[in-house]
Amino acid sequence: MGQIQLIIVTPEQTTLDQMVDAVTVPLIDGEAGILANHAPMIGRLGPGELRIRAGSSEERYYVDGGNVQVESNVVSVLTGRSIPASEIDVAAARAALEAAENESATTPVLAEMKQKSIAQARAQIHMAEKS
């Protein structure tokens, strides 16, 4: 089976650029697995776990939402933040969750932002507890 190139870009740097066998990205409405020769796609990411399989090893990253673009066997993930699962700061995530829950949401847009921060914090805690 062929390999695909995975590039994770954050505004600060290109976090990752390597050939992988398969990558699972957290879309906003569920996960999507991407193998070689995937059809061109642009997807919206939600906060969650990005899994990479290369050979027999599996790596897990937390991504903060963003976009994914698949084109001619290149997967580019554009995200605000990507952290390896082992480096997640659970205490900070819990604090962020609490802060987000106490926020007032008076308009629909604000409510949406609040939901997003809650989802981001929850996803981090969930991932950290799993490992």
Which positions lie near other proteins, rule CB under 8 A?
A: 9-14, 27-29, 32, 39-45, 65-67, 69, 71, 76, 78, 80-81, 106-107, 109-110, 113
d(CA 70, CA 4): 10
d(CA 34, CA 65): 17
Query: Would you say 68 and 77 are in contact if contact means Cβ atoms under 8 Å apart?
Result: yes
Measured from the CB of residue 97, what is the shortest distance to other proteins in angstroms?
A: 15
Nearer to other proteins, 9 or 54 (CB): 9
Nearer to other proteins, 32 or 85 (CB): 32
Nearer to other proteins, 45 or 118 (CB): 45
d(CA 49, CA 66): 13
- β 22-27/41-54 pair status: antiparallel
Measured from the CB of residue 69, what is the shortest distance to other proteins in angstroms?
A: 6
Measured from the CB of residue 45, what is the shortest distance to other proteins in angstroms?
A: 7
